[in-house]
Structure 1
């Protein structure tokens, strides 16, 4: 990748005026600096394609070459072959590359997201120092080394637990004895730690987004209760959710691959696992939606305050209309009745209804689907594995002819 990874298209002069707009959740943390120092990340850009291919190759190729050399690569060995263990292929060739490529989407998302706070007037000029400080606190936290030390500790602990507690998981097919051969150790000591480290890195990034949203929610944002997006003007936040789409699919695909092996080779009925499938998809979705939870407090406060304020406005307007047209009082020419921005009673009621319809979460269905759909798709595939797909397709084709 080239320098555009760090300077996305569309950056305006605001970027030079406000350094906060250069915020990124993937650049300049301890892991990024280490990867750049050892050459995994180039001096310019993120090098996501190069890293995705490199990590996929270093994880999958040694196991594949060992399987070919020992005659355990083809399906002729049934569930004891490499081809039958979907989890290894999905983890190495799908999940790990997707989790790396997702960094590119994350890198390009935040500059337009933060710039929108300024361009739409959500952050007033007088509040720019508070805006800058809110982002600066997150940057200082992101650059700390301690979170990555904890991630490394979790990776080591998880790999050790895999050896001690479940040595046959994903590696039992490589040997008929209790001894774990090369491919098994490669999976335990290389593939699983790499995958775990990248997943934990994304969980940490989700925490960073949560803290960023919390800091922004505490700002005196100039929200519009009657905004047609039903989120006070914050609905654009859902664009950030799309950077989590590859992450949701990658994690869900790894879990689904384990279920798929049980269905195909151990005769497990997918319908008996529907609770687990639904629970796994829901858990992945919730974890990746939680970073946006702080904005719920903002919208709840906005709706509570605006309901009272606009309720008072509607009440004043309605009482004056009643006094003028029902009781026939001479009330003069109150400004509230002649204000063109309020209009007739029906328009005033529409304004109040707009306030009452403020959503508790700043997402449309599209924003929710950006996370829920990729998290659910692999699980739905497992659920329909009991149906004879060729026969179903044949029936559909015949019905359409």
Structure 2
């Protein structure tokens, strides 16, 4: 471990305080046994999605409308409760663990040195206070109530045919009322909570990028020792998938009622842009610091390389040095090659902990829910017939 790295005791104390999770809902889930040590909030997410859905199914069965309930016109409701809500909690569980691991790598590798420790500790404690505060949940609840009132006002004024998620539920008095009054507000509340989680993470990285970090220009990860941040961002892929899944479900509802297919192209492009900004933007906070590290490395290694090359040429090509040492087996040539490799690593440093692999993972998560929508425009039988004709030349 680097001499400038934090001591194991200090690192453990800091890691024990770090968390992006908390608040009244999580404390309630812990009391109910739905938040496991770790913390693992996925059981809470499954319960919050499954229990309202079971009630919704029961109410639809009482009204004798189970056939309508399991149609594409209400698929958005099923997706919200059975897929998106659990995905939100699965993502926050894995993401929080990886964010803690990122902080651990900074401390153990010495990127966050002893001089940085006081500022980092203050930031971690501030993050913990906000995460455990009632304010995020309270403001999320307030935003949910305001959105509910706004949607109800639009519905009553006749500007929308139905509040959301298809007309089939509007024809089921009991199930529809449960969905509009409980299920949809619950989903919105949980979505607003995730906005807070992202805001906490963005703020933490923004503040971290302005601390005195010990970045190494020749670090093999190509970003001075910040490479594990890419792993953290990878674990936001389920959130990108959940966003696209929700949008795809909305389009499926509309197209089941005869809406046009064409808006999907623009919506997909917008989703991709939003995901790139949300999940690839925060690592770019380190761009100026990495640029400074790269310039410093090029300056230092250029001077070192010039000194080494000058001594190398003087030793092997100077007038006073021929035949003094056997050429075969000399470490000088290997050292020259190693120095060249080090300069190459510095020159090829990335200006953000973002790679093609991370971009591909986020794009794949964002685009994966969209292809099934093409079945509305190209039915399976028709697609198979066209493919057969293309292959056979008919």
Superposed displacement of residue 368, structure 1: 2.8
1:363 is matched with 354
Secondary structure of residue in 2 paired with 1:362: coil
Separation (CA, whole Å) in 1 of partners of 2:17 and 2:285: 19
What do the CA deviations read for 1:7-37 (whole angstroms, capped 9, x no partner)?
Answer: xxxxxx9478631112443444344234445
Pick one of 151, 154, 164 that aligns with 1:162. 151
Pick one of 62, 66, 72 that aligns with 2:65. 72
Pick one of 104, 110, 113 that aligns with 1:121. 110
Pick one of 225, 238, 242 that aligns with 2:217. 225
Greater relative contact order (Cα 8 A, min sep 6): structure 1 or 2? Answer: 2
Pick one of 119, 134, 141 that aligns with 2:130. 141
TM-score (structure 1 length as normaliser): 0.78
Separation (CA, whole Å) in 1 of partners of 2:332 and 2:193: 54
Query: In the superposition, relative to structure 1, how do residues 238 and 341 fare at CA in structure 2: closer, same or farther (>3 Å)?
Result: farther
1:21 is matched with 15
What do the CA deviations read for 1:186-221 (whole angstroms, capped 9, x no partner)?
Answer: 222212221111112112111111122223222322
Pick one of 58, 63, 75 that aligns with 2:51. 58
Separation (CA, whole Å) in 2 of partners of 1:329 and 1:304: 36
Separation (CA, whole Å) in 2 of partners of 1:138 and 1:289: 21
2:139 is matched with 150
Separation (CA, whole Å) in 2 of partners of 1:191 and 1:127: 45
Superposed displacement of residue 62, structure 1: 2.9
Written as runs of structure 1 = structure 2, the 5 A alignment for 1:330-345 is 343-344=335-336
1:252 is matched with 244
Superposed displacement of residue 87, structure 1: 0.7
Secondary structure of residue in 1 paired with 2:219: coil
TM-score (structure 2 length as normaliser): 0.79
Separation (CA, whole Å) in 1 of partners of 2:221 and 2:361: 18
- Does structure 1 retain, via aligned residues, the 8 Å contact 2:26–2:35? no
Secondary structure of residue in 2 paired with 1:233: coil
Query: In the superposition, relative to structure 1, how do residues 126 and 360 fare at CA in structure 2: closer, same or farther (>3 Å)?
Result: closer
Which sits farther off after the overlay, 306-315 or 82-91? 306-315
- Does structure 1 retain, via aligned residues, the 8 Å contact 2:85–2:190? yes
- Does structure 1 retain, via aligned residues, the 8 Å contact 2:29–2:44? no
| Count of residue correspondences | 369
Superposed displacement of residue 280, structure 1: 1.8
Written as runs of structure 1 = structure 2, the 5 A alignment for 1:197-212 is 197-212=189-204
What do the CA deviations read for 1:231-261 (whole angstroms, capped 9, x no partner)?
Answer: 1121111111233122221121111111122
Superposed displacement of residue 388, structure 1: 3.6
Query: In the superposition, relative to structure 1, how do residues 314 and 370 fare at CA in structure 2: closer, same or farther (>3 Å)?
Result: same
- Does structure 2 retain, via aligned residues, the 8 Å contact 1:95–1:254? yes
Query: In the superposition, relative to structure 1, how do residues 301 and 382 fare at CA in structure 2: closer, same or farther (>3 Å)?
Result: farther
Separation (CA, whole Å) in 1 of partners of 2:73 and 2:353: 43
Separation (CA, whole Å) in 2 of partners of 1:272 and 1:246: 24
Superposed displacement of residue 40, structure 1: 6.3
Residue 168 of structure 2 corresponds to residue 173 of structure 1: yes
Secondary structure of residue in 1 paired with 2:354: coil
Pick one of 175, 179, 183 that aligns with 1:191. 183
Q: Structure 2: where are the runs of 5+ without partners? A: 1-6, 155-159, 322-329
Which sits farther off after the overlay, 59-68 or 380-389? 380-389
Secondary structure of residue in 1 paired with 2:369: helix
What do the CA deviations read for 1:306-352 (whole angstroms, capped 9, x no partner)?
Answer: 334434444555677788999x7999xxxxxx9969933x6544433
Query: In the superposition, relative to structure 1, how do residues 53 and 98 fare at CA in structure 2: closer, same or farther (>3 Å)?
Result: same
Written as runs of structure 1 = structure 2, the 5 A alignment for 1:250-329 is 250-269=242-261, 271-314=262-305
Residue 90 of structure 2 corresponds to residue 101 of structure 1: yes
Pick one of 69, 76, 85 that aligns with 1:87. 76
Pick one of 218, 243, 263 that aligns with 2:235. 243
Superposed displacement of residue 263, structure 1: 2.9
Pick one of 377, 381, 388 that aligns with 2:372. 381
Separation (CA, whole Å) in 1 of partners of 2:168 and 2:224: 56
